[in-house]
Amino acid sequence: MNSFTGFLTRSPVTARVAPLAVYLVLTVCQGYFGESGRYWLYLAKTLAGAWILWTVWPVVTEMRWAVSWESLVVGVVVFALWVGLDPLVPRQPELWEKLGLRDLFVKLGLAGTPAASPPPWNPFRHFGAGSELGWFFVVARILGSSLVVPPIEEVFYRSFFYRWIANADFRSVPLGQFAWKPFVITSAIFGFAHNEWLAGILCGFAYQGLVCWKKRLGDAIAAHAVTNFLLGLWVVWRDAWQFW
């Protein structure tokens, strides 16, 4: 454990990249342990992500939450865009299908076949409608997506990746420095990391713009948390499980 802790904090790059890398590996693993495993592994990766954040907290000094009226507004607006664009814009699988690229992505292992696509993440479907275990995993998902995911992703995309594109010595680039190239590239990659690709790109623009405006990362973390929390409530209220 001590050696892994040392690995996480051994360099400025590792401290900002490893948390997301570990989180993504555990996300991929969710599909290999059956339907129940999807939910238990989500809980496991949330706890692991929280521990990793605690571990790198002392060395990633910009990872400090900052709640402001700007972060609240951006969080709500991004949530509205995420939900509002969904019926209007094809998701990534449908997009690649329309562009005739689906088969290529399947061959490259970047997309699954329609038959292989897992059903939406919905613990009530598996554990029973209104079941205690179902509610347990719903609450775990909302808390994980609101408290653990935002700092992990914002530190990687907005603190490390954006600045690294601007200069390999990323710490020499101020958090609030605006540059078109990293602004567009980072937001595009962030967007296509989600099925809701267009909403994701706009989301990246909004969060990165917030960092450039406020000259700190904390407002983007808070805005991301607001978006994910509202989206979690929307998923449960409207049975919109496709967002999870």
Q: What would the pLDDT profile of 127-161 be if each residue is shown by its tens digit? A: 999 999 999 999 999 999 999 999 999 999 999 99
The predicted pLDDT at position 111 comes to 52
Q: What would the pLDDT profile of 12-63 be if each residue is shown by its tens digit? A: 999 999 999 999 999 999 888 899 999 999 999 999 999 999 999 999 999 9
The predicted pLDDT at position 88 comes to 97
pTM of the shown model: 0.93
- CA–CA separation, 153 and 142 (whole Å): 16
Radius of gyration of the chain (CA): 18
The predicted pLDDT at position 147 comes to 98
Please, are residues 22 and 156 in contact by the beta-carbon 8 Å criterion? no
End-to-end Cα spacing for the chain = 31
The predicted pLDDT at position 31 comes to 81
The predicted pLDDT at position 107 comes to 65
Please, are residues 84 and 232 in contact by the beta-carbon 8 Å criterion? no
Answer yes or no: is pLDDT of 112 > 60: no
CA 85 to chain CA centroid, nearest Å: 18
Number of helices (H), then strands (E), in the chain? 13, 0
Reported confidence tier of residue 228, pLDDT bands at 50, 70, 90: very high
The predicted pLDDT at position 6 comes to 86
Reported confidence tier of residue 4, pLDDT bands at 50, 70, 90: confident
Q: What would the pLDDT profile of 168-217 be if each residue is shown by its tens digit? A: 999 999 999 999 999 999 999 999 999 999 999 999 999 999 999 999 99
The predicted pLDDT at position 115 comes to 45
Answer yes or no: is pLDDT of 110 > 90: no
For residue 191, give the H/E element and its range: helix 180-192
Average pLDDT over residues 106-119: 58
Answer yes or no: is pLDDT of 227 > 60: yes
For residue 237, give the H/E element and its range: helix 218-238
Residue among 6, 17, 33, 2 at smallest CA distance from 163: 17
The predicted pLDDT at position 100 comes to 84
Rounded to 10 deg, the angle between the 132-143 and 34-56 helix axes is 30
Q: Please, which contacts does 203-208 make with residues 24 or more away whose CB atoms are closer than 8 Å?
A: 203/78, 203/81, 203/82, 203/227, 204/157, 206/74, 206/77, 206/78, 207/74, 207/78, 207/154, 207/157, 207/158, 208/157, 208/158, 208/162, 208/183
- CA–CA separation, 216 and 207 (whole Å): 11
pLDDT-above-90 percentage for the chain: 82
Please, are residues 162 and 186 in contact by the beta-carbon 8 Å criterion? yes
- CA–CA separation, 136 and 6 (whole Å): 33
- CA–CA separation, 87 and 77 (whole Å): 17
Would you report the helix, strand and coil content of the chain in percent, each value rounded to 5? Answer: 75, 0, 25
